[in-house]
Amino acid sequence: MGCAVALLATQRWPQMAVRGSSGPLQFGLLSIALLLLLLPLQTALVYRFGLLLVLSALILFSWLRDFDQLLALRTMAGVGVVSFGL
């Protein structure tokens, strides 16, 4: 799952860099989400809770700012919510 999210993120990274108005905030949140996905953490519950928290923040900021065009981010958020429920 971490590789799939990293692949989606790298496909959309240039679009995030071009968008000057909301790029840095989402870039930071996405970086945190990728770190949570790629770093092995000891406790699965903390891992899933942190992932859900970061990806929920990405969804919230996508509604508050003009960030809806990045479909990959919404897909990543959906994957995170589903993995939290497992």
Domain boundaries, given as residue ranges, for the chain? 2-85
Q: How far apart (Å, rounded) are the C-alpha atoms in residues 86 and 53?
A: 16
pLDDT higher at 25 or 71: 25
Sign of torsion, CA 23 14 31 11?
positive
Tokens 């959906």 correspond to what residue?
78
Rounded Cα gap, residues 65 and 86, in angstroms: 30
Asked if residues 12 and 70 have their Cβ atoms less than 8 Å apart, the reply is yes
* Distance (Å, whole) CA 1 – CA 63: 25
- Stretch among 2-6, 29-33, 76-80 having the lowest mean pLDDT: 2-6
Is the pLDDT at 15 greater than 50? The verdict is: yes
Tell me the pLDDT tens digit for each residue of 25-66: 666 666 776 676 666 666 666 667 777 777 767 666 665 555
